Amino acid sequence: MSRYFIDRASKSMVLICAAISFLVLLLIVAFITKEGMPAFREVGLGQFLFGGEWRPGDGQFGILTMIVGSICVTIGSLLLAVPLAIACAIFLAEVAPHRLREICRPMVELLVGIPSVVYGLVGMAALVPLIRELGGTGFSLLAAIIVLTAMVLPTIICISEDSIRSVPIQYKEAALALGATRWQTIWHVLLPAARSGIVAAAVLGMGRAIGETMAMIMVIGNSPIFPSSLLDSARTLTGNIAVEIAYATGLHENALFATGVVLFVFIIVLSSIAFIARRKEITR
């Protein structure tokens, strides 16, 4: 009887917590939408989304440059981070000796908890001067991509390693028994079996890349312009809000809340695409 009661109470508690979380999310969406609607009405949705000029003093509120900056930083960091993370996950799960694995895994997990401002400081002190030698000020898309790659790597590595290690050992043993080499087993058996988990890791990494603010502000240059190369400065959607919200008033403040609405929709769209791709991988 007591076990039945505990099960029912636990189920009810989980349901209540889920409902509260969903309600909080709805309240956040309602608040930023309410605050951002005046900007959509005054500026116009098309001009706001596709305008290339962000000059609040002149009444110009176009966020296309920030959308491009966010996309470039996110895609660039994932292109670098995903292959590196998969390679590290394979090393930790299948290649590294037990003693080395026990040392490396806590170190990787520790990197997840490092504050983003620390990554930004390291990027400013060590990375920006190196990039400055290539041209420009050093505060650039390239610096932001490298810093963001370092930030999302630990998350993707940990989840990918868990996915590889969760593949039933019978798969590995069957492949080896059929004469496959160790690398052939990893490439043709373990990675395909763990593909859904690896895709989920990439989705989580993408979520952090899109939402990262402080480190990007410190190394990207924060210029609301279209970058023509990796050495140019840029600005992300999150950086635009963080840089200007402290002194924004009136329509300027409404435009920043509208930027938050666009960012929210942007994340939902990308996450939905990744979720659909993951489901296709599972059902394949």
Distance CA 124, CA 119 (A): 9
Per-residue pLDDT at 6 exceeds 60: yes
Distance CA 243, CA 255 (A): 13
Per-residue pLDDT at 75 exceeds 70: yes
In the chain, what are the domain boundaries? 2-50, 66-283
**pTM listed for this prediction:** 0.86
The reported pLDDT for the residue numbered 79 is 92
Distance CA 278, CA 204 (A): 12
The hierarchical CATH code for the domain 66-283 is 1.10.3720.10
The reported pLDDT for the residue numbered 282 is 57
Give the pLDDT confidence of 84-134 residue by residue, as tens digits.
Answer: 999 999 998 888 888 888 888 888 888 888 888 899 999 999 999 999 988
Give the pLDDT confidence of 11-65 residue by residue, as tens digits.
Answer: 889 899 989 999 998 999 899 999 999 988 888 888 888 888 888 888 888 899 9
Distance CA 254, CA 280 (A): 39
Q: What does DSSP assign to residue 179?
A: T
Number of H helices and E strands in the chain, helices first, is: 14, 2
Q: What is the mean pLDDT of the chain?
A: 86
